[in-house]
Structure 1
């Protein structure tokens, strides 16, 4: 059986995230990835979750509260910006960062113009072996150009594609 892209992402998260890790959900949307990440980091880890709409923030906050996971998540009502390093912690790094611009997260029409700027802020803050996961229904040319610009000595890349969605994986070496 071929896994859905959402199942594939969750399998990667299960393998890569450990109790106590810090992780980033750069596109909270419906909160599905934030909740899953929160289950993996345990009570000693934390999730930085970025959402740009009040409806998404309220729905995610309520879901986290009902699941008993709200203590593990810092829910920020904005996109990743120049304050990211302070929000992450000056000495901290993330083991995984997820940017889901697909219909799975109900976020396929909400890719901001500065999404590459956000990714540029996150990638250097990944641990060695840390993963950036980005998911699209329609892959923008700017993303393909960005992937080609990354140095192979610093990053490994892979893709996973189904009939509707494509996932790009970037591992910091």
Structure 2
């Protein structure tokens, strides 16, 4: 059986994220990844979630409330920016981060122009063994160049490609 990109991603979350972890959804959109992350971190964990539109933030907030997961999520109605370290906490690191620019999250057309800068804020804040997932329907050339320039001594990489989505996995060594 060939896994969908969403199933593959959620299996990685199940294998990586532990109770009490701090994790990040950099592209909340329909909230599917935020909700799934919230189920994994437990009551003492934290999901930092960035919803770029008011409609996305409201929909995600309602869904989290109905699921009983609101207390585990800090839902920010903005894009991830240079305030990220303050929002995370200067001493905190994250074990898992996702930037989903695919139709899985209903986010295929919402990639900001500064998405590489956003990823650059997050990558060094990963724990050792932490994962960063980036998903695209159409992979931008700039992304390929960015990930190819990461130091192999610091990061290992893999890609999972389905018919419509490429899921890139970067692990901090």
TM-score of the two chains, using structure 2 as the length reference: 0.99
- 2:114 is matched with 114
* Runs of 4+ with >2 A deviation: none
- 1:69 is matched with 69
- 1:148 is matched with 148
CA displacement at 1:158 relative to structure 2 = 0.2
CA displacement at 1:155 relative to structure 2 = 0.2
5 Å-filtered alignment, 1:10-159, equals 10-159=10-159
- SS of equivalent residue, structure 1 residue 49: strand
Mapped to 1, the partners of 2:79 and 2:154 lie a distance apart of: 26
CA displacement at 1:109 relative to structure 2 = 0.5
- SS of equivalent residue, structure 1 residue 18: coil
Unaligned 5+ segments in structure 1 are none
| Number of matched pairs | 173
- 1:163 is matched with 163
- SS of equivalent residue, structure 2 residue 97: strand
CA displacement at 1:138 relative to structure 2 = 0.2
CA displacement at 1:129 relative to structure 2 = 0.5
